[in-house]
Chains A and B, each alone.
Chain A
Amino acid sequence: MIEDDEGHARLIERNIRRAGVNNELAPFTNGTEALAFLFGDDNSGQVSARKQLLILLDLNLPDMSGISILEKIKANQHTKRSPVIVLTTTDDAREIQRCYDLGANVYITKPVDYDNFANAIRQLGLFFSVMQVPETQ
């Protein structure tokens, strides 16, 4: 989970857990750390090989744009099949198109109203629980 707002990260985690998802969750608050985790020190992505990854991505990050992270994930042979779920406050039509063009699997706008937000995250959690995630190469 790449999300710069720790409050949001905590709320998302709580709601996913409430939906019964018990998988390991690695939170990152900036792009640099997240990329280091995904592609390793040699930047090859070898570290992600043979893992089942699902990436929750926020577009507004302090050090880089979430879109460039998305590009890198989809361009890397090890991570390109890992589902990426863009979860962000932006609902600009062009931004949404761009993300899907780059290979994002799902784009979710964070509802501002908390009830809707919580509801959306819980449903996302339910979705996770039935979702098949391919193993990376």
Chain B
Amino acid sequence: MSASRFNLIRVAALFSALGMLVLTGIVVLSYVTLERTRASTEEVLETRERRGALVDLLSVIQDAETGQRGYLLTNEDRYLKPYERAVKQTDERLARLAKLLQSDAQSSDFIKKLSTAIDAKLAELSETVALAKAGESAQAIALVRSDRGKQLMDHLRELLSEKRNDVEARLSDAVASQRENAAMLQWTIIAGGVLILLAGLGATWTLVRYTSEIVKARTEVELLNAGLEFRVQERTVELQRANEEIQRFAYIVSHDLRAPLVNVMGFTTEMKSSLETLAALTSDPIIDASPAAEAARAAVATEIPESIGFIQSSTKKMDSLINAILKLSREGRRTLNPEAINLDALFQGISSTVQHQLLEAEGELVINGKLPTIVSDRLALEQVFGNLVDNALKYRDRARAPRIEVRARHERDGAVLIEVEDNGRGIAEHDHERIFDLFRRAGAPDRPGEGIGLAHVRALVRRLGGQITLTSELGTGTTFRVRLPRNLRLVLEQAGELRG
């Protein structure tokens, strides 16, 4: 389960990383392609400009030649103007071309050659024009006829056209590379898109699987939880039933034990009254003659009364024990009546009932601070704390004045902790659990009692949904701590015990 979850997380992370990687690749490739497109565009523009410059240069030289021819034919100055303008522009056009071709490696050679060819052509032109100006038209025409000018012009044309071809090849190269770039960008985008889609699908698939696994696990936990709750409820019901059974058992046992006890006591009393008749007989001197007279008198006067006395004291003791069990089992069956109880008032009441004993022993009962108000059963609380205070006085240390201190505080979980501390004779550690058992007592058996009080107290505290614990040191004192729920009604509601 945890391994597969770990794998799922790893796979999801992998897909995400892959998507990021592809995205980064697309961005980088796009940038590179764009950069290359920009460079080739610039080259296209530049090449175009170069071509323009080449064409311009040729046309300006052709303009000059045209002007020369016109002048030679007509000898009119009108035709000389375009010639002169063209010659003037030639330098400028050449300079522009040179500047444009600057970045090329072999351009300076070309420019040199071109410049020489132009100079030669322009020299030929100016020579014929000068001859015509001087009136030697025939000589000028002869010079033209010599084909030197045509050869020079052809050479120039060849030079320029060669360069133009060169430039045009580069232009088509640049355009091709631009097209290539565009295609590459397209492919990059398509491939990247597909890859991102795949990564996204992978991540989604992982997520869906992970989510469905979580949902499955949660359903499982919910099922287990429901089962657990059901089992707890079942156990609680079982426990309640067992508890009820024990209480019923205690009730029936104590009840049925009483019947034979009545007989034992009844017939003992009957025997006692019969004994009076016998005593009258044995005291009669008539029986003096009998040899058994002395023994009979002793039996009637001492032995039988003594036996009857033992039977009676034992049955009385047994009776009080049975009564104690009966009381406990009855307490368990009593319906609790939750109401708001001011613990201050409760302890004031207890204090006034033991006032006489306190005065006699010169002791005191101190309520430390303000005690809270809780919702509980009044009778049960009175019995619990009445018993604890009674015990504190009953088992006081005879060497000092008894001092009982009561304090309370709220616990975090909605319970109230009430402490009853005394400076009595204390309880040895091995007796701390034992004193809560029925008919068990601790310390010197110098005080009257049956060992019922604390068993009763613990049963009551448990019924109120609380616990009782103690800390004690022999010879120093004892502190009983009673933890009670702040609201008994809630406890009873939870146990389904509250009716109405």
Contact = CB atoms under 8 A, between A and B. Distances in A.
B1 interface: no
A110 B266 CA distance: 12
Contacts of A114: 262, 265-266, 268-269
Contacts of B265: 112-114, 117
A51 interface: no
B462 interface: no
Interface string A112-135: 111101100000000000000000
A89 interface: yes
A76 B334 CA distance: 36
B187 interface: no
B269 A115 contact: yes
B267 A112 contact: no
Contacts of A41: none
Interface stretch (B44-52, B175-183, B191-199, B253-261): B253-261
The interface residues of chain B, by DSSP majority, are classed as helix
Interface in A1-37: 5, 7-8, 11, 14
B92 to A, nearest CB: 133
Contacts of A11: 262-263, 266-267, 270
Nearest to B320: A112
Nearest to A11: B266
A90 interface: yes
A113 B312 CA distance: 10
A11 B263 CA distance: 8
B364 interface: no
A112 B323 contact: yes
A24 B336 CA distance: 48
Nearest to A58: B259
A14 to B, nearest CB: 7
A14 B258 CA distance: 20
A98 to B, nearest CB: 16
B48 to A, nearest CB: 119
Interface string B422-457: 000000000000000000000000000000000000
A7 B261 contact: no
B63 interface: no
Contact of B263 (A7, A90, A113, A118): A7
Contact of A90 (B255, B260, B269): B255
A118 B319 contact: no
A112 B258 contact: yes
Interface in B280-314: none
A88 to B, nearest CB: 9
Contacts of B266: 7-8, 11, 114, 117-118
A5 B259 contact: yes
Contacts of B316: 113
B276 to A, nearest CB: 15
A8 B255 contact: no
Interface in A84-104: 89-90
Nearest to A111: B262
Contacts of A14: 270
Interface residues of A, number: 15
Contact of B261 (A90, A112, A115): A112
A118 B269 contact: yes
A10 to B, nearest CB: 8
Contact of A5 (B263, B322, B323): B263
A97 B265 CA distance: 29
A112 B259 CA distance: 8
A70 B256 CA distance: 21
A60 B263 CA distance: 16
B262 A8 contact: yes
B255 A112 contact: no
B297 to A, nearest CB: 27
A110 B256 CA distance: 12
Given A11-B267, A112-B319, A117 B255 contact: no
A117 B265 CA distance: 10
Contacts of A118: 266, 269
A89 B262 CA distance: 10
Nearest to A110: B262
A60 B252 CA distance: 11
Nearest to A6: B263
Contacts of B322: 112
Contacts of A89: 255, 258-259, 262
A11 B271 CA distance: 12
A8 B260 CA distance: 8
Contacts of A5: 259-260, 262-263
Most buried by A among B256, B259, B261, B267: B259
A15 to B, nearest CB: 9
A113 to B, nearest CB: 7
Contacts of B269: 114-115, 118
Contacts of B268: 114
B270 A112 contact: no
A115 B262 CA distance: 10
22 contacts: A5-B260, A5-B262, A5-B263, A7-B260, A8-B262, A8-B263, A11-B267, A60-B259, A89-B262, A112-B258, A112-B261, A112-B262, A112-B265, A112-B319, A112-B322, A112-B323, A113-B265, A113-B316, A114-B262, A114-B269, A117-B266, A118-B269
Interface of B: 255-256, 258-263, 265-270, 316, 319, 322-323
Given A7-B266, A112-B258, A112-B319, 10 more contacts: A5-B259, A8-B266, A11-B270, A14-B270, A112-B265, A113-B316, A114-B265, A114-B269, A117-B266, A118-B269
